[in-house]
């Protein structure tokens, strides 16, 4: 399978039925992998760009015979315009629903359940905020020694959640996807710029240490050589 590489900013649309709820943006780590580093609701787009992605999203639904229930669609905005990467007939994975609730006051999980059981559902926005998540991504394999600064980051104004997925002594073996994450910080504020500033400040407070695999082996060998003869 050979596919053209679509280069440009990443955006995603969240839809319920034929209602486009939100357009988000995302940042990746370095190639060749596509490990998400950050999501933001809403994306920093002009009204015209936002409308173009919303129209393209609905065109995807019509082309694929969708239009019932939730859909999340991924795009890259290339020099030739927006290119569809994926159309997923489901809600976006966590923490998308949490970010949407923080940004717009819409509980998309509850509204999806209402739709499934035949109740009236409503995805009208109850507020207009900017919500974002930034993930903790290790830069090497090895063993996690410690993560510090979590309480301090959680205490920052605007931080909604700090979650760590890995305990000390957890082996770190990067896969080049979401399984590389060892934690995240979620924040919300009135503007995208303010939310990004809160996330930056939170990550300035959080630190972690990983002993790389090679250093582990060297340390084990050194300790072994120091054992007294029996």
Catalytically active residues, by annotation: 90
Helix (H, G, I), strand (E, B) or coil at 104: helix
> Given CA atoms 132, 41, 58, 54 in this order, what sign does their dihedral have?
negative
Q: Which residues on neighbouring strands pair with residue 24, listed in sequence order? A: 12
Copy the structure tokens of residue 186: 């979620």
Instruction: Tell me how crowded residue 63 is: count the other CB atoms within 10 A of its CB.
Output: 10
Which among 137, 134, 178, 140 is positioned nearest to 160, based on CA atoms?
134
How many Å apart are CA 109 and CA 112, to the nearest integer?
Answer: 5
């Amino acid at each position: 399978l050979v596919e053209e590489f679509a280069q440009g900013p990443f955006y995603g649309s969240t839809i319920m039925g034929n209602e486009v709820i939100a357009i988000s943006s995302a940042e990746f780590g370095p190639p060749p992998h596509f490990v998400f580093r950050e999501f933001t609701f809403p994306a920093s787009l002009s009204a015209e760009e936002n409308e173009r992605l919303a129209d393209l999203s609905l065109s995807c639904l019509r082309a694929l015979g969708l239009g019932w229930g939730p859909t999340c669609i991924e795009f890259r905005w290339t020099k030739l315009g927006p290119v569809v990467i994926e159309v997923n007939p489901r809600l976006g994975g966590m923490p998308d629903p949490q970010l949407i609730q923080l940004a717009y006051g819409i509980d998309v999980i509850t509204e999806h359940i209402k739709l499934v059981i035949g109740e009236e559902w409503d995805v009208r926005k109850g507020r207009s905020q900017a919500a974002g998540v930034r993930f903790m991504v290790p830069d090497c394999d090895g063993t996690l020694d410690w993560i510090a600064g979590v309480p301090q980051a959680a205490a920052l104004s605007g931080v909604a959640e700090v979650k760590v997925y890995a305990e000390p002594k957890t082996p770190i073996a990067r896969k080049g996807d979401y399984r590389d994450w060892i934690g995240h910080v979620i924040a919300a504020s009135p503007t995208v710029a303010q939310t990004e500033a809160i996330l930056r400040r939170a990550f300035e407070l959080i630190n972690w240490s990983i002993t790389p695999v090679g250093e582990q082996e060297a340390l084990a060998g050194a300790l072994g050589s120091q054992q007294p003869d029996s």
